[in-house]
């Protein structure tokens, strides 16, 4: 991750520095930091984002004393000590570990890794200690997070010794992924292939800030909210915070004139949506916590038995994801025009373009919003929509003629067409499974989900950069009204 930041033309990483002071101006923020050489330096920025964790400087030293912004108990109270470890897994090979018994079973080093360190996040309940574990980062990096409850923790304990006592039994297997027993009996993954990058106790709780921003200083991630580990929602919520904030900051930075009342309205809508998102994740964490922390009961046994009958168990998180922010009052969308929900992610393609993720289309126009036109008559629709855009005089930063994307519900009607202005454009259609043999797709992939979430009668959709539907329309007058309401939100 550090390498990616250093390579980016948009970022500059300054390590071994400590932020020590801040001055807020009407036009921005001056941040003072102590450089690694000990000298005091300053950066002037338009906005300051506190993404520095639950004990970070931005909230505790800048916003708590001046704006009384602090983390408070969210929907439920929980406090518990867990041992948390970040691990780097190295592949054993026949050369490095010639005595490892599974080479004789035809397993390759990668198959050994996949067997002992399976894809996905895993939550375990008693007997034993409540546990949360799973991969993070690119799969090729082989990083793993392992956390387990230690309710009787005291400082005389050794976290790494507890980790090995807890982890190694889980890395001892007597059968392959199909349940076939190994002829050699139980096999333990080589301990010397597990590199501990960090291991220490953490006190986990569920809290969220009473306010997400003050003037030009904003909080995201663990600086704004913290979760217990048995829901796996901490980093997910942090990513959603940043995703929803990024396009708003782009808007505030690039619009010619933005007075403080408008900036506050835009950020307040973001804060309301993200509080809704945190509350949704908290409910999921509470439900998962009951399964992870409670002892075996008849009710729990029946629940596990029923869930085992589903090849792909129903996901409460998936239901919440589909709803997006529909239940958020004063969110940045038009609920009366079908807004607030979240787009499905599928593959789309055209006659000239190989399958690509649908999310990639939202970046093509370099605008804050994307206008989706669902039609089998592209030329006529494009002319009508462009006429409306010109009439309402929409700012080109928000939506422009370049940000129009065409979707055809039917593959047979999706072709490159010439418009009335002698320009050609692509028409995309949902990629069927038969065209995705070279792609990795999840079980249950459904190419119809994209248009179904928009609504089968929808002809026009205004989409936010964070995959949230701003509005949908069935007619040109409805679309024009949506444009006018969008302008009103930004006035």
- In angstroms, rounded to a whole number, what is the distance separating the alpha carbons of residues 168 and 185? 16
Average per-residue pLDDT for the chain: 89
Q: In this model, does residue 108 exceed pLDDT 90? A: yes
Q: In this model, does residue 418 exceed pLDDT 50? A: no
Q: In this model, does residue 421 exceed pLDDT 60? A: no
Q: In this model, does residue 420 exceed pLDDT 60? A: no
pTM (two decimals): 0.86
Q: In this model, does residue 413 exceed pLDDT 70? A: no
Supply the pLDDT for residue 304: 67
Question: Which superfamily, per CATH, for 46-76+206-318?
Answer: FAD/NAD(P)-binding domain (3.50.50.60)
- In angstroms, rounded to a whole number, what is the distance separating the alpha carbons of residues 84 and 105? 33
Would you state the CATH architecture of domain 333-489?
Answer: 3-Layer(aba) Sandwich (3.40)
CB within 8 Å of 321: residues ≥ 6 apart: 342
Q: In this model, does residue 192 exceed pLDDT 50? A: yes
pLDDT in tens, 349-380: 988 888 999 999 888 878 999 999 998 877 78
The answer to whether 322 touches 453, Cβ cutoff 8 Å, is yes
Higher-confidence residue of 204 and 485: namely: 485
Confidence of residue 417 (pLDDT cuts 50, 70, 90): low
Mean pLDDT of 241-257: 93
The answer to whether 403 touches 373, Cβ cutoff 8 Å, is no
Identical fold between 79-204 and 333-489: no
pLDDT in tens, 278-308: 999 998 888 877 777 766 677 767 776 776 6
Domain map of the chain by residue range?
46-76+206-318, 79-204, 333-489
Confidence of residue 51 (pLDDT cuts 50, 70, 90): very high
Mean pLDDT of 35-51: 91
- In angstroms, rounded to a whole number, what is the distance separating the alpha carbons of residues 258 and 80? 44
The set of long-range contacts for 376-383, using a CB threshold of 8 Å and a minimum separation of 24, is 376/408, 376/409, 376/410, 376/413, 378/406, 378/408, 378/417, 378/419, 378/425, 378/427, 379/417, 379/418, 379/419, 379/420, 381/406, 381/459, 382/406, 382/419, 382/420, 382/425, 383/419, 383/420, 383/421
- In angstroms, rounded to a whole number, what is the distance separating the alpha carbons of residues 20 and 7? 27
Mean pLDDT of 376-393: 87
Higher-confidence residue of 70 and 13: namely: 70
Q: In this model, does residue 5 exceed pLDDT 90? A: no
- In angstroms, rounded to a whole number, what is the distance separating the alpha carbons of residues 462 and 371? 5
Least-confidence region, from 24-28, 164-168, 261-265: 24-28
What is the separation of C-alpha 27 from the centre of its chain, rounded to a whole number of angstroms?
A: 31
Q: Report DSSP state, residue 191.
A: G
Confidence of residue 339 (pLDDT cuts 50, 70, 90): very high
Supply the pLDDT for residue 456: 92
Mean pLDDT of 128-137: 87
The answer to whether 355 touches 348, Cβ cutoff 8 Å, is yes
Mean pLDDT of 45-73: 95
Beta bridge partner(s), residue 149: 82
- In angstroms, rounded to a whole number, what is the distance separating the alpha carbons of residues 22 and 200? 32
Q: In this model, does residue 416 exceed pLDDT 80? A: no
Helices 260-293, 316-323: crossing angle, 10 deg rounding: 170
- In angstroms, rounded to a whole number, what is the distance separating the alpha carbons of residues 140 and 356? 22
- In angstroms, rounded to a whole number, what is the distance separating the alpha carbons of residues 231 and 272? 22
Domain 79-204 has CATH 3.20.20: no
């Amino acid at each position: 991750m550090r390498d990616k930041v250093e390579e980016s033309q948009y970022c500059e990483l300054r390590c071994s520095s400590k932020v020590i002071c801040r001055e807020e101006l009407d036009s921005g923020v001056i941040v003072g930091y102590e450089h690694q050489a000990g000298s005091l330096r300053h950066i002037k920025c338009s906005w300051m984002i506190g993404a520095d964790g639950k004990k970070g400087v931005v909230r505790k030293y800048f916003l708590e004393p001046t704006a009384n912004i602090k983390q408070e108990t969210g929907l439920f109270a929980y406090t518990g000590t867990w041992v948390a470890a970040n691990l780097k897994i190295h592949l054993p090979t026949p050369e490095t570990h010639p005595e490892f018994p599974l080479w004789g079973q035809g397993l390759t080093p990668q198959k050994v890794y996949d067997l002992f360190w399976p894809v996905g996040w895993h939550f375990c309940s008693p007997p034993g200690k409540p546990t949360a574990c799973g991969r993070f980062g690119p799969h090729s990096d082989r990083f793993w997070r392992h956390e387990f409850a230690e309710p009787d923790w005291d400082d005389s304990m050794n976290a790494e010794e507890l980790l090995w006592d807890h982890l190694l039994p889980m890395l001892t297997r007597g059968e392959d992924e199909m349940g076939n027993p190994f002829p050699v009996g139980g096999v333990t993954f080589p301990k010397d292939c597990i590199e501990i990058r960090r291991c220490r106790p953490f006190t986990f709780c569920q809290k969220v800030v009473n306010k997400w921003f003050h003037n030009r200083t904003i909080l995201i991630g663990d600086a704004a909210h913290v979760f217990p580990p048995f829901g796996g929602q901490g980093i997910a919520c942090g990513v959603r915070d940043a995703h929803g904030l990024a396009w708003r900051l782009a808007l505030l930075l690039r619009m010619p004139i933005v007075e403080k009342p408008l900036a506050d309205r835009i950020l307040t809508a973001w804060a309301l949506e993200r509080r809704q998102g945190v509350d949704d994740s908290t409910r999921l964490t509470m439900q998962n916590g009951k399964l992870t922390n409670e002892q075996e009961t008849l009710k729990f046994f029946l629940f596990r038995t029923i869930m085992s009958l589903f090849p792909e168990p129903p996901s409460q998180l998936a239901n919440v994801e589909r709803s997006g922010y529909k239940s958020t009052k004063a969110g940045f969308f038009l609920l009366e025009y079908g807004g607030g929900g979240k787009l499905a992610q599928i593959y789309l393609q055209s006659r000239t373009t190989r399958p690509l993720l649908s999310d990639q289309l939202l970046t093509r126009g370099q605008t804050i919003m994307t206008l989706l036109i669902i039609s089998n008559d592209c030329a006529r629709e494009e002319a009508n929509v462009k006429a409306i855009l010109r009439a309402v005089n929409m700012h080109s930063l928000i939506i422009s003629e370049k940000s129009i994307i065409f979707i055809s519900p039917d593959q047979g009607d999706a072709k490159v067409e010439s418009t009335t202005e002698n320009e050609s454009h692509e028409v995309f259609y949902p990629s069927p499974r038969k065209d995705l043999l070279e792609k990795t797709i999840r079980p249950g992939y459904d190419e119809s989900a994209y248009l179904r979430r928009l609504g089968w009668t929808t002809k026009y959709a205004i989409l936010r950069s964070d995959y949230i539907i701003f509005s949908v329309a069935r007619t040109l007058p409805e679309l024009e009204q949506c444009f006018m309401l969008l302008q009103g939100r930004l006035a």
